[in-house]
Structure 1
């Protein structure tokens, strides 16, 4: 029986025993999915920042030998096939296969397909958080892609990473929002609060 959340690693309450993810982490995944979908969602808003100069990208450089690209690649890579929509559809296919269901079918344009995938994932989220063995991987990918979309449309810089030291001596690179981390040196799994309590890594001498 699983005794702790595979995402934040905190110990379960009695009514959470046997789940893959605790209820707060499940609600967080649901809120991230909700933020992506709809006409005002993060995915739809990516199309508003495709044009060069549509967000603060710094001063233009004169004397360039090549013409600027007609679109910005960062939001385009998230918006196009192969970006976040493909990630969500791949997870939905995986869930269908695990449940023994037919593969889902995609209809309409990419926005419609994104909304379909989000709706289906949300409908089955409680089952996945309770029973799917790779729910932590799904939650991790969802968090990374949602943060990437938000960084483009909200013009946010990526969260600053800091180094903390595991007792084994390995330095972990984390952010203030890191839900948890596994040390590659000794395989110790840290939850959010635990990893933030690790000592700061000493900076390398110049």
Structure 2
């Protein structure tokens, strides 16, 4: 047993189960994020400046951050660089750049996602790769889905299919009625919040749950929910 090169969690390969799954999900989001970013190219309207100070330079007609992400060196550049590095590592022919940027983003992210098992198990660069994909995903989602104010209630009580404990941060949005794990997306209703905050479920061993699986909401469109009874001693 070694440690994950992204989160330092115990792992059988270069990436643990949760980091491998999360990276695969982020890769799957890339084509949709790229398309959605187009709607945010126009900069947000701002109130006119007060006083007599005038703007020295005219503002860009588009949002610079979005333009960078959608440009040749943005999402497509990062994805194709890693796809090409993977092909070189495996001795495969490096694909050329074909089609629109939208098509290239879909092709590169799809190729990387298809090979996530090998990347997680056998590629020494897996941690660096996963970190850059996470950063790219965060930059894009910060534009299309600005983060909402929230508080952390405690660590997630879910277990993964391989028997490892999740432990991701469970966040409750401001004025929200359901808290959710930022890692596996497990949902927690109000009856469980006290146990999360106080850690009463932690009695020397990690908590057990019934058939909770990482990424269920991403695959099936439904969310796992923990009931209050799992915290009973």
TM-score of the superposition, structure 2-length normalised? Answer: 0.59
Partner of 1:9: 8
- What residue number does 2:135 align with? 144
- 8 Å contact kept, 1:78–1:149: yes
Structure-2 residue corresponding to 1:166: none
**CA deviations over 1:95-125 (Å, ceiling 9, x no partner):** 0010011111222110110000011011111
Report whether the alignment pairs 1:69 with 2:60: yes
- Residue 52 of structure 1 aligns to a residue whose secondary structure is coil
Q: Tell me which residue corresponds to 2:14.
A: 20
Determine whether 1:29 maps to 2:23. Answer: yes
The answer to whether the aligner puts 1:47 opposite 2:41 as a matched pair is no
Instruction: Report the CA distance shift for 1:118/1:59 in structure 2 as closer, same or farther (over 3 A).
Output: same
Residue 86 (str. 1) matches residue 77 (str. 2): yes
Counterparts of 2:70 and 2:9, CA distance in 1: 34
Alignment partner of 1:108: what SS?
Answer: coil
Counterpart CA distance in 1 for 2:96 and 2:29 is 23
Alignment of 1:106-121 (within 5 A): 106-121=97-112
Q: Report the Cα offset of residue 61 of structure 1.
A: 2.7
Q: Could you list the runs of 5+ residues in structure 1 that have no partner in the other structure?
A: 160-175, 180-206
Task: Tell me: CA distance 1:117–1:158, structure 2 relative to 1, closer, same or farther (3 Å).
Answer: farther
C-alpha RMSD of the superposition: 2.6
Shift of 1:60: 3.6
Deviations 1:118-150 (CA, angstroms, capped at 9, x unpaired): 110111111111111010000000011110001
CA spacing shift, 1:149–1:158, aligned 2, 3 Å: farther
Question: Who wins on radius of gyration, i.e. which is larger?
Answer: 2
Q: Any residues of structure 2 matched to 1:115-194 within 5 Å, and which? A: 115-156=106-147
2:160 alignment partner in structure 1 = none
Structure 2 residues without counterparts, runs of 5 or longer:
151-168, 171-181, 184-233
* Higher RCO (C-alpha 8 Å, min separation 6): 1
Cα displacement string for residues 138-188 of structure 1 (whole angstroms, at most 9, x for unaligned residues)? 0000011110001112234899xxxxxxxxxxxxxxxx7999xxxxxxxxx
TM-score norm. by structure 1 comes to 0.67
Contact (CA 8 Å) 1:52, 1:71: kept in 2 or not? yes
**Aligned with 2:92 (options 101, 107, 110):** 101
